[in-house]
Amino acid sequence: MDKPIQGKGFTKWNGEVWLSDPEEAHGFLANWKVKEVLHQETSDFQEVAVIETVGFGRALVLDGIVQTTARDAYIYNEMITHVPLAAHPEPKQVCLIGGGDCGAAREAVKYPVVERVDMVEIDPKVVEVSRKYLPEVAGEGELDPRIQFYFEDGAAFIREKKRHYDVVIVDSSDPVGPAAALFERPFYETVHQSLKEDGIMVCQSESPMFHPHMLRKVHHTLRELFPVVHTYLAAIPTYPGGVWSFTLASKQLDPLKEMEAVKARLQDGQNRYIDQGLLEGCFKLPVYVKELFR
């Protein structure tokens, strides 16, 4: 590789290029050996890169942090999408905030009942680059016409457009930079207002091991606003610690109280991670996670 090495997280070491993703508070460093930097640019919002890794295929990197890889993106995208869509009996109108890699949007349109997915991504470059370099995640050819793109801040979109949704999915990056507001109470209040009477929201709520304070904050804040709140987990090798959390909040419907109907609605024909058993099991939490919510 003879391109100059620049950008957050990239270093040259013993003639090899590595991307380092630190969890500084824990003195923990994940290192990715980079076979090739396929794309690198600074957008209006962040540094956007695509790398070829050694074992995980291509990876989308934002501000030096690996967001998704060709090898395990399906786990995150199936979990953030199928759980709320199966939990709702008729998820016709869906809003997806963030999710620029397009993986979650592609999962959402696997539900024939879905009529529209408003995909609100702040950074058009993430969509452009994912569609160009990450076909395993973003798909090839035309996207399903039910997916409508809005290149805007998700918090402002929800606050100002005042549309009403059955399901809102917050597929954001970590709570720094443009995504920070998506982890705060004012945003959740407007999501609550944008949901119909039986509406459901889900957000990615970070690692229970590396970011327990953030998970606790998200869970408790949602509990102040919604009568039903459940955190669920998935094993995602790409993310630090390998265990990732999602938190579902519902105005009325409790998926745990009608699990047989929820499982029956799951579209699992092509899934590689979630099936009916896992859908039920993902809500069973280890004691150290349950302790966060007391």
CB 66 to ligand SAM: min, Å: 8
CB crowding 123-146: b at 16 or more within 10 Å, else e: bebbbbbbbebbebbbbeeebeee
Binding mask 131-170 for ligand SAM (x = CB under 6 A): ----------------------xxx---------------
Span interacting with ligand SAM, options 1-9, 96-104, 260-268, 279-287, rule CB under 6 A:
96-104
9 binds ligand SAM (CB under 6 A): no
Burial class (CB in 10 A: 0-12, 13-18, 19+), 101: buried
CA atoms 156, 204, 82, 194: torsion sign: negative
Element (H, E) at 120: strand 116-120
123 binds ligand SAM (CB under 6 A): yes
> 172: annotated binding-site residue?
yes
Task: Check: CB of residue 21 under 8 Å from CB of residue 30.
Answer: yes
Residue 107 vs 166, nearer CB to ligand SAM: 107
Q: Could you give the residue ranges of the DSSP H alpha helices within 97-146?
A: 103-108, 124-133, 135-138
> 124: annotated binding-site residue?
no
Q: Give the residue among 276, 268, 273, 261 at the shortest CA–CA distance from 88.
A: 261
171, 254, 268, 275: the active-site residue: 171
Residue type, 166: D
Active site includes 198? no
Binding mask 37-76 for ligand SAM (x = CB under 6 A): -------------------------x----xx-------x
Whole-Å CA distances, 181 to 109, 117, 125, 128, 190: 27, 22, 20, 24, 12
19 binds ligand SAM (CB under 6 A): no
Q: Could you give the residue ranges of the DSSP H alpha helices within 196-272?
A: 212-225, 259-265
107 binds ligand SAM (CB under 6 A): no
179 binds ligand SAM (CB under 6 A): yes
Residues near ligand SAM, by CB under 6 A: 62, 67-68, 76, 97-101, 120-123, 126, 153-155, 171-173, 178-179, 181-182, 204
Binding-site residues sit at: 46, 101, 121, 153-154, 171-174, 178
Active-site residues, by number, are: 171
